[in-house]
Amino acid sequence: MGFPVNSITEIKTTLAGERKTFACELLQTSTTGAVVLYRMPADHQLEDILLRKGTLSLGYFWPDKPFNAYHWIDSRLDTVALYFNVSDNTTISAESIAWRDLVVDILMTPDGRCRVLDEDELPADIDPGLRHYIDHTRDQLCREPLSRLAEYDKLTRQLINHA
């Protein structure tokens, strides 16, 4: 798959303040968001999902949404999984996409399963307003997983077909 190569750095800051960076390829940017491509450098196991080396991860980011999304696809462009991070403080510039990871993740698989991950890792003393934001976002994301999977499959296929 020959995508145009424009490098961009994804910067994730955890709730505890730890920073992680990922070198990505910028696929699309607009006033409303950005899409990046990351190729899995090695096999990675997440729950019962094996993301094989070379799996494509299309990351969808928006400054005005309470989450970001990763659509993981195989070499046939079939969905392996859809993964959401509850997030805030997303900023997009020409050089980077920065966001704060609010711990809770949602994992959806093509069979329609929707799993909430890492909720047990939220600090006991988390601000009640932030906890409400996280809970509300989690509940929204878990509605109609098959519709969400179809939506991202369509977005990804359109993006790849225009690359």
| CATH class of the domain defined by 7-161 | mainly beta
User: Which residues are bridge partners to 7 per DSSP?
Assistant: 25
Q: Give the dihedral of Cα atoms 115, 86, 56, 61; nearest 10 deg.
A: 150
pLDDT attached to residue 163 = 62
Q: What is the pTM of this model?
A: 0.93
Find how far residue 85's CA is from the centre of its chain: 6
Radius of gyration of the chain (CA): 15
Structure tokens at 144: 């109609």
Contacts of 120 (CB under 8 A, 6+ apart): none
Q: Using DSSP bridges, classify how beta strands 96-108 and 7-14 pair: parallel, antiparallel or unpaired.
A: parallel
Q: Say what the pLDDT of residue 65 is.
A: 97
Q: Which pLDDT belongs to residue 1?
A: 46
* 8 A C-beta contact, residue 79 and residue 149: yes
How far is 5 from 25, CA to CA, in rounded Å? 6
pLDDT for res 55: 95
- pLDDT score at 106: 98
Type of residue found at 131: R
Identify the pLDDT of residue 46.
93
Of the candidates 149, 122, 117, the residue with the CA atom closest to the CA atom of residue 47: 117
Tell me the mean pLDDT per 10 residues along the chain, length 163: 73 96 92 92 93 95 97 93 98 95 97 96 96 98 95 92 72
- In the chain, where are the structural domains located? 7-161
